[in-house]
A and B are shown apart, each in its own frame.
Chain A
């Protein structure tokens, strides 16, 4: 009887542990996605303001550089996760790709602004919007 009870408890702990690992990954994905989305939206807002000449270019460069650093932090934070099941591996790859896309979009914007190429930065607006929408969907996962 006692042996059954211990086995049952172990099963619960193992299954609970698996569930927790998946949940942990979902939470981490949502957290990183929200952080990256915030920075992508900041970059978008900065470029929009630069477009209507509400910002100095050098100030915009500082703001987008800060956003790029924060996206990089969100990406590296999620990269450190350990997917344990097939489903979580798929999710890990999808979220990782979305975060990479976000990072690339922000970096491309920063490079364009650094080269004083506002037109190229404005062309990134569409990419930034799509990236923010994708990250928003991932961010909703934890709800």
Chain B
């Protein structure tokens, strides 16, 4: 019974924790411009993140060491450094977007400018990381993030023409003024949002924080194969709401307020309150995950003591990295850069860094020195390689498409 409860809690946390500011903004934006014509990208992205998260979870459960530590050991310092730089910069950009997202949620609830909330949000993130136990913070914000299910309920309440939505899903091409170039650009952005590198690093480092062993393999796999796809459904619901309300009205999504508007239309102030708490939990939870991931990647690469399972004094450099990252995030946002634009760029840059993040994981998951007889099977390697090909294509095409479409305009 206790085991079942743990698995259920893990799944719920995975669902709630799947959606972050990148998913919120990109899904709503894409839904408003293309309807459900990009639903297939979410499906492809979710399968990809499941494949690679399972690999990194298995590596952690069997070796007891986080993926980044093994990447440096297995591939050497130089290759590890390339992966470190790419992943770290993308994660830092994502952290900036998440902090901005939390501040925007507060602005929507209070009417007070988001710039005033920014330092307080960063301070709150630091305090939570400093004081709250790892398992508690993961569960607390993951479960609160479940409130975003209100998007799925709102989709039903908005009374869509389901036939029209199915027609959009089965006709994946640009419509109206949209070109194939913008379609491809946003497909890459959506793919990047679903497969953000920090998710894998956080997942694997979190496994070490929670002292996973061979016995936790089933729990880890259940979280991945049930929790992430259900999180993907949440992403589709966000896109669906935008497709129903905004596409016919010609409204393009460029602010967090617009993302939440369909829920307010469906359920009024109560719905708005629920969605704002959900957005707060999703972005605050992701801010915690990204700032921890910044600390994890550098500390693990350098071989420093890291993690919340030791006292802060024993992992001082790990905590200093996180404080510096939070300071960079606040200073960047105080330049009045638009957090939603940062989010849009962060998911595209994430797509560019994907092969550098996922190739090492594929290599480590095939090394019997780390996973014993639990190396990838042929089928898993086949799909892993196919995804690697997709990641390379997305990575190579991201910048040219960004230039050609003027960042999706």
Given contacts A34-B250, A136-B250, A143-B177, contact A58 B257 (CB under 8 A): no
Question: Do B409 and A62 have beta carbons less than 8 Å apart?
Answer: no
Question: Do B177 and A63 have beta carbons less than 8 Å apart?
Answer: no
Interface string of B232-269 (1 = CB under 8 A from A): 00000000000001000111101101100100110111
Residue on B nearest A35 in the bound complex, by CB: B252
Question: Do A45 and B252 have beta carbons less than 8 Å apart?
Answer: no
Question: Do A41 and B272 have beta carbons less than 8 Å apart?
Answer: no
In the complex, A38 has a CB within 8 A of chain B: yes
Interface string of B151-187 (1 = CB under 8 A from A): 0000000000000000000000000110000000000
- Give 5 CB contacts A-B under 8 Å: A35-B252, A46-B261, A52-B268, A59-B111, A62-B111
Quick one: which of A66, A70, A139 contacts B177, CB cutoff 8 A? A139
In the complex, A88 has a CB within 8 A of chain B: no
Residue on B nearest A44 in the bound complex, by CB: B249
Residue on A nearest B261 in the bound complex, by CB: A45
Residue on A nearest B113 in the bound complex, by CB: A62
Distance, CA A41 to CA B249, complexed state (A): 7
Distance, CA A37 to CA B252, complexed state (A): 9
Could you say which of B3-11, B102-110, B142-150 contacts chain A?
B102-110
Interface string of A41-60 (1 = CB under 8 A from B): 11001100100111110110
Interface size class of B (residues with CB under 8 A): 20 to 34
Given contacts A55-B272, A63-B261, contact A70 B254 (CB under 8 A): yes
Nearest Cβ in chain A — how far from B252, in angstroms? 4
Question: Do B264 and A55 have beta carbons less than 8 Å apart?
Answer: yes
Quick one: which of B111, B250, B251, B258 contacts A58, CB cutoff 8 A? B111
Contacts of B107 in A (CB 8 A): 62
Question: Do B265 and A49 have beta carbons less than 8 Å apart?
Answer: yes
Quick one: which of A45, A56, A62 contacts B265, CB cutoff 8 A? A45
In the complex, A31 has a CB within 8 A of chain B: yes
Residues of B within 8 A of A (CB): 107-111, 176-177, 245, 249-252, 254-255, 257-258, 261, 264-265, 267-269, 272, 409
Contacts of B257 in A (CB 8 A): 59, 62-63, 66
Nearest Cβ in chain A — how far from B373, in angstroms? 56
Contacts of A67 in B (CB 8 A): 255
Distance, CA A27 to CA B268, complexed state (A): 38
Distance, CA A138 to CA B201, complexed state (A): 48
Contacts of B249 in A (CB 8 A): 41, 45
Question: Do A142 and B258 have beta carbons less than 8 Å apart?
Answer: no
Nearest Cβ in chain B — how far from A111, in angstroms? 15
Quick one: which of B108, B177, B269 contacts A53, CB cutoff 8 A? B269
Nearest Cβ in chain B — how far from A66, in angstroms? 4
Contacts of B409 in A (CB 8 A): 31
Question: Do B265 and A54 have beta carbons less than 8 Å apart?
Answer: yes
Question: Do B250 and A38 have beta carbons less than 8 Å apart?
Answer: yes
In the complex, A30 has a CB within 8 A of chain B: yes
Question: Do A37 and B250 have beta carbons less than 8 Å apart?
Answer: yes
**Which 10 interchain pairs have the tightest Cβ spacing?**
A58-B111, A63-B257, A54-B268, A38-B252, A66-B255, A41-B249, A38-B251, A41-B251, A54-B264, A59-B108
Nearest Cβ in chain A — how far from B185, in angstroms? 16
Contacts of A63 in B (CB 8 A): 108, 255, 257-258, 261
In the complex, A29 has a CB within 8 A of chain B: no
Nearest Cβ in chain A — how far from B400, in angstroms? 20
Known: A56-B269, A66-B255. 13 other contacts (CB 8 A): A34-B177, A37-B250, A42-B251, A42-B258, A45-B261, A45-B265, A49-B261, A53-B269, A54-B269, A55-B269, A59-B257, A62-B257, A142-B177
Residue on B nearest A50 in the bound complex, by CB: B264
Question: Do A56 and B177 have beta carbons less than 8 Å apart?
Answer: no
In the complex, A61 has a CB within 8 A of chain B: yes
Question: Do A54 and B272 have beta carbons less than 8 Å apart?
Answer: yes
Contacts of B254 in A (CB 8 A): 38, 66, 70
Distance, CA A63 to CA B262, complexed state (A): 13
Contacts of B110 in A (CB 8 A): 58
Distance, CA A42 to CA B264, complexed state (A): 13
Distance, CA A55 to CA B270, complexed state (A): 9
Nearest Cβ in chain B — how far from A122, in angstroms? 17
Contacts of B251 in A (CB 8 A): 38, 41-42, 45
Contacts of B272 in A (CB 8 A): 54-56, 59
Distance, CA A30 to CA B409, complexed state (A): 12
